[in-house]
């Protein structure tokens, strides 16, 4: 359905995340992947959604000139807890510390998605609340050893073992926790196609 509406557009997903690629595949649209390097630092005064909105926009700047029919889609996901942004761990020790911090607590997963064309830029975002059970030391060690989630915000993938055994409750979009609020991406692309 959306594929036909977007037939005159060239959709470029600017993400190296295999999860985002899979989610885009399941939206049933034609797209290509083009990842550009960008310094993902942000002003320290920013909080929560302001951070992910800023970084999603920042990633789009790496593309410079954009062709008339192109839509560049960039995004950023972070874990937000106790007014602190929890990004990707630098190493195993940091990943372990992150999981201990999330254990038995509620945190928010925030994803912003930026749609950039030659003529416009639109940013959407979504927030999902996640409640984890209290993890044992053995569970954390097993997960880190077996899944090595060092490329993931908060050091976990909701679709992996830790999500199966550890999530007590979710409030909001499951796919947002994976890194893409799919229903909002679909809605936005439909609006763009209809405009």
Cβ contacts of 50 within 8 Å, gap of 6 or more: none
Looking at residue 154, its pLDDT comes to 95
Confidence of residue 124 (pLDDT cuts 50, 70, 90): very high
The predicted-structure confidence for 52-73, as pLDDT tens digits, reads as follows: 999 999 999 999 889 999 999 9
Question: Any idea which of 63-67, 75-79, 104-108, 118-122 has the lowest mean pLDDT?
Answer: 63-67
pTM reported for the whole predicted model: 0.93
For the beta carbon of residue 102, count every other beta carbon within 10 angstroms: 23
Ordered by where they begin, the domains of the chain are 2-194 (3.90.950.10)
The predicted-structure confidence for 151-176, as pLDDT tens digits, reads as follows: 899 999 999 999 999 999 999 999 99
Residue 1 vs residue 105, higher pLDDT? 105
Give yes or no for residue 108 having a pLDDT over 90.
yes
| Residues 80/110, Cβ–Cβ less than 8 Å | yes
Cβ contacts of 153 within 8 Å, gap of 6 or more: 77, 78, 79, 86, 87, 88, 109, 179
What percent of the chain lies above the pLDDT cut of 90? Answer: 93
Residues with catalytic function: 76
86: enclosing H helix or E strand:
strand 84-86
Looking at residue 1, its pLDDT comes to 82
């Amino acid at each position: 359905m959306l594929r036909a509406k977007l037939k005159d557009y060239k959709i470029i997903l600017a993400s190296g995340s295999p999860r985002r690629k899979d989610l885009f595949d399941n939206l049933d649209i034609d797209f290509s992947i083009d990842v550009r390097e960008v310094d993902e630092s942000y002003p320290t005064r920013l909080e929560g959604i302001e951070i992910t909105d800023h970084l999603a926009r920042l990633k789009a700047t790496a593309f410079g000139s954009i062709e008339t029919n192109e839509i560049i889609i960039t995004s950023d996901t972070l874990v937000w807890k106790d007014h602190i942004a929890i990004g990707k761990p630098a190493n195993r020790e940091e990943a372990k510390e992150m999981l201990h911090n999330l254990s038995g607590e509620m945190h928010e997963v925030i994803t912003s998605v930026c749609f950039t064309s030659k003529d416009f830029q639109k940013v959407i975002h979504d927030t999902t609340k996640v409640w984890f059970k209290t993890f044992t030391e053995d569970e954390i060690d097993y997960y880190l050893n077996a899944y090595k989630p060092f490329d993931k915000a908060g050091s976990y993938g909701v679709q992996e073992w830790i999500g199966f055994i550890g999530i007590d409750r979710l409030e909001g979009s499951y796919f947002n926790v994976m890194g893409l609020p799919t229903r909002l991406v679909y809605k936005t692309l439909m609006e763009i196609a209809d405009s």
